[in-house]
Amino acid sequence: MSSTYLLKIGVTYYFRCRIPKDLLPYFKTFEIKKSLRTSCHRSAKAAVKSYAYQLERIFSLVRTGMIGDMQLQTLLERYKVNSLPSGDCYDANDSSWNAVEFNDVCRKVLPPPKEVDLNNQRPPFPLSKAIDKFCKDRQKERPTNERTQQRYREYFNVMLGMLGDRDVTEYNRRDLENLKDELYERPKNLSKGQKNAPPLDKRTVNTNYIGKIVSLFKWLHVKDYVDRDLTPGLASSLTSAEKKARKRRPYDPADLKRIFDLLPFEPKQPHLAWVPLIAAYSGARQGEICQLLVTDIKEADGIPYMHITEEDDAGNLVKTVKNENSKRVVPIHPAIIEMGFLDFVERQRGRGKTTVFETTTGKPLTGQYYSKRFQQFNNQFVTADRKKVFHSFRHTVDNQLKQLMIPDNVRYSIIGHMPENAIDDTYTQEYLVHIKYNELIKLEHPSINLKELKKRYAVFHT
């Protein structure tokens, strides 16, 4: 309740209350505002409870008619803003306020006010500390790797800089709505100095930023750090039209031919050739392929497969996946094997590498790092259609498997996707690798000349 009546002007806190419409004839003013003569939020929050309670008592007495006109007018006059000197604060010890008749009526109408113990108030809890504690709690409940944690903190740091580091009780709904408006105007990659870049899109704002601040303030409310949840309806979902506009299109046979005819084969950057090939014959996501460890390439019943998961073989969280359905086993298509991928992985293993792919500086490859290079290639040599991007490989594979009449649940298990209207197989085991393999080998891309392509992949085997 107290936060509702608090107003800060400069460094000073005020008690402010709007007069209910049905009582305006008695007050002849729209609101009451009084200085609390303090710049300390804790003290103001404690003091304002008494003012709010006393005023609510008057409202109740006026509505029930349980107070005489003369006494009512006396009390109301003391609350009229224009009757008080500028900055004056009502004296709760005033004799007319504590009149025996008034208190007697109040006791009959309302329960006594709660006493405020200033010595038992919690210490200040600034937003920066709240973010730190929230992230630690989240990591305990939903462990993620270090890179994901760092990215999560980066989003919060941006919002902290925009909101300011205040006690968590000082924020209101308007602050969060202003944050959202400012994010819509924030240029992409501003942290990298690109001030003239286009603004963040709706999905980025609501998923990467607002979704996180909503989670934080809901957590603050559940943990009793704030009186109420400020976030209902704050995050905006994409409309059907927006989702349709964002939907990626699959690569057609002509696109695939251009990609693999013109694909760069650089011995020092083998990922430029391998990642698109794996995507074209598995439907795996860009990040899933880029993060592969050499230990993720396994074999079961004589069938090689990729194990897409967050963990390494020791159980350490070292990668990220989109969701639970993304964790899966994907058989390696014969076309990928024919190009010598398994031999390439073994050479990486023999060199003491932990990851299948790495950057030119020897760091583990990430989807974010790779996407820039592929998109440059895609725009320059493949297509001018902005709806065709790396993710189009995934749509191509999904569509091909669908046309081959492969059972939906097997198809979902291969590509790691569970549509909203699909039956959830949470309580059943994943399909065996040979079942997936027998369906995946039906996938073909006639426009890709594998015979000629094999000659080009030989550069990685010398």
Asked if 101 and 144 sit in the same domain, the reply is: no
Per-residue pLDDT for 109 more than 90? Answer: no
Q: How does the average pLDDT of the chain come out, rounded?
A: 81
Give yes or no: residues 151 and 172 share one domain. yes
Do residues 49 and 137 share a domain?
Answer: no
C-beta atoms surrounding 145 within 10 Å: 16
**In terms of domains, do 166 and 79 share one?**
no
Q: Read off the CATH number of the domain in which 200 is found.
A: 1.10.150
Residue 30 has pLDDT above 80, yes or no: no
The pLDDT of 424-446, averaged and rounded, is: 83
What pLDDT sits at residue 110? 44
Q: Write phi, then psi, for 289 (nearest 5 degrees).
A: -75, -45
Q: Which residues pair with 304 in a beta bridge?
A: 299
pLDDT bracket for residue 317 (50, 70, 90): low
Lowest mean pLDDT among 51-65, 111-125, 228-242: 111-125
Closest CA to 320 of 308, 310, 306: 310
Query: Do 166 and 200 belong together in one domain?
Result: yes
Residue 289 belongs to what H/E stretch? Answer: helix 286-290
For residue 323, tell me if it sits in a domain.
Answer: yes
Q: Let me know if residue 245 belongs to a domain.
A: no
Residue 229 domain flag: yes
- For the stretch 351-378, pLDDT in tens is 999 999 999 898 899 888 899 999 999 9
Alpha-carbon span 126 to 2, nearest angstrom: 18
Residue 136 belongs to domain spanning: 127-240
Q: Answer yes or no: is 248 within a domain.
A: no
Look at the chain and report how many structural domains it folds into. Answer: 3
Backbone φ, ψ for residue 199 (5° rounding): -70, 165
Q: For residue 414, is it within any domain? A: yes
- Of 240, 274, 292, the position where a domain reaches its end is 240
Range in 217-231, 281-295, 330-344 the model is least confident about: 217-231
Among the candidates 76, 95, 116, a domain finishes at: 116
Residue 140 shares a structural domain with residue 284: no
Whether 108 maps to a domain, the answer reads: yes
Q: With 70 as the cut, is the pLDDT of residue 163 above it? A: yes
> Do 92 and 153 have their domain in common?
no
Say yes or no: 151 and 224 in one domain.
Answer: yes
How far is it, in rounded angstroms, from Cα 69 to Cα 65? Answer: 9
- What pTM value is reported for the model? 0.61
pLDDT of residue 291: 93
134 and 198 within one domain: yes
- Angle at CA of residue 40, ends 34 and 42, nearest 5°: 95
Q: Please tell me whether residues 134 and 97 are part of one structural domain.
A: no
- Residue 247 located in a structural domain: no
Task: Output the pLDDT for position 87.
Answer: 36
| CATH number (domain holding residue 415) | 1.10.443.10
d(CA 339, CA 371): 23
Among 18-27, 194-203, 206-215, 400-409, the range scoring the smallest mean pLDDT is: 18-27
What is the pLDDT, as a whole number, of residue 382? 95
Tens-place pLDDT, residues 180-202: 888 988 887 666 555 677 888 88
Pair 137, 167 in one domain: yes
Average pLDDT of the residues in 258-274: 95
Helices 100-109, 41-64: crossing angle, 10 deg rounding: 90
Last residue of a domain, one of 76, 93, 116: 116
Same domain membership, residue 71 and residue 16: yes
Q: Is 36 within a domain? A: yes
**What token pair was written down for 331?**
């058989």
pLDDT > 90: percent of the chain = 41
Q: Is 192 exposed, middle or buried (0-12, 13-18, 19+ CB in 10 A)?
A: exposed
